Amino acid sequence: MLFVEKPKTYNFHFPSNIAIICAEYENQINLMTAAWHTQVSQKPPLYMVSISSQRYTHELIVYSREFSINFISYDLSQLAAFLGRTSGRDIEKVSVFDIALEQSVNIRTPFLKKAYAVYECKLYDYRRAGDHTLFIGQIVGVHYDENSFDPNLKTSPTLYLGSDKYATLDTSSVKIHSEKQVKDYLSKWVQDI
Amino acid sequence: MLFVEKPKTYNFHFPSNIAIICAEYENQINLMTAAWHTQVSQKPPLYMVSISSQRYTHELIVYSREFSINFISYDLSQLAAFLGRTSGRDIEKVSVFDIALEQSVNIRTPFLKKAYAVYECKLYDYRRAGDHTLFIGQIVGVHYDENSFDPNLKTSPTLYLGSDKYATLDTSSVKIHSEKQVKDYLSKWVQDI
CB-based contact, A95 to chain B, within 8 Å: no
Residue A138 inside a domain? The answer is: yes
What's residue B193's pLDDT? 61
Q: Which residues pair with A17 in a beta bridge?
A: A159
The number of folded domains in chain A is 1
Instruction: Give the C-alpha separation, B67 to A16, whole Å.
Output: 21
CB-based contact, A122 to chain B, within 8 Å: no
The one-letter amino acid code at A63 reads Y
CB-based contact, A176 to chain B, within 8 Å: yes
> What ipTM was assigned to the predicted interfaces of this complex?
0.97
Residue B45 inside a domain? The answer is: yes
Q: Among A98-112, A177-191, B2-16, B40-54, name the one with the lowest average pLDDT.
A: A177-191
Residue of A nearest to B19 (CA): A13
CB-based contact, A69 to chain B, within 8 Å: yes
Cβ distance of B50 and A36 shorter than 8 Å: no
Quick one: three-class SS letters along A113-139? CCCCEEEEEEEEEEEEECCEEEEEEEE
Residue B102: exposure state from Cβ atoms within 10 A (0-12, 13-18, ≥19): middle
Compare CB distances from B164 to A39, A136, A177 and report the shortest one's residue: A177
A46, containing H or E segment? strand A46-52
The CA distances from residue A174 to A7, B157, B163, in Å, are: 33, 12, 12
Q: Which residues pair with B47 in a beta bridge?
A: B39, B137
Give the single-character DSSP code of A57: H
Residue B107 inside a domain? The answer is: yes
Residue A145 inside a domain? The answer is: yes
Interface test with A, best of B4, B11, B41, B103 (most A CBs within 10 A): B41
pLDDT band at B70 (very low <50, low <70, confident <90, very high): very high
CB-based contact, B73 to chain A, within 8 Å: no
Assess contact for B117 and B132: CB atoms under 8 A. no
Instruction: Give the C-alpha separation, A48 to A142, whole Å.
Output: 15
CATH code of the domain covering residue B135: 2.30.110.10
Q: What is the distance in angstroms between the Cα of A47 and the nearest Cα belonging to chain B?
A: 10
Cβ distance of B7 and A142 shorter than 8 Å: yes
Cβ distance of B36 and A39 shorter than 8 Å: yes
- A-to-B residue pairs, Cβ atoms closer than 8 angstroms: 302
Cβ distance of A152 and B11 shorter than 8 Å: yes
Q: What is the distance in angstroms between the Cα of A134 and the nearest Cα belonging to chain B?
A: 7
Q: What does DSSP say about strands B2-4 and A165-176: parallel, antiparallel, or unpaired?
A: unpaired
Give, for all 193 residues of chain A, the pLDDT tens digit: 999 999 999 999 999 999 999 999 999 999 999 999 999 999 999 999 999 999 999 999 999 999 999 999 999 999 999 999 999 999 999 999 999 999 999 999 999 999 999 999 999 999 999 999 999 999 999 999 999 999 999 999 999 999 999 999 999 999 999 999 999 999 988 777 6
Residue A8 inside a domain? The answer is: no
Q: Which residues pair with A111 in a beta bridge?
A: A102
Q: Domain of A93?
A: 16-192
A174, containing H or E segment? strand A165-176
Residue B10 inside a domain? The answer is: no
Tell me: the pLDDT tens digits for A58-109? 999 999 999 999 999 999 999 999 999 999 999 999 999 999 999 999 999 9
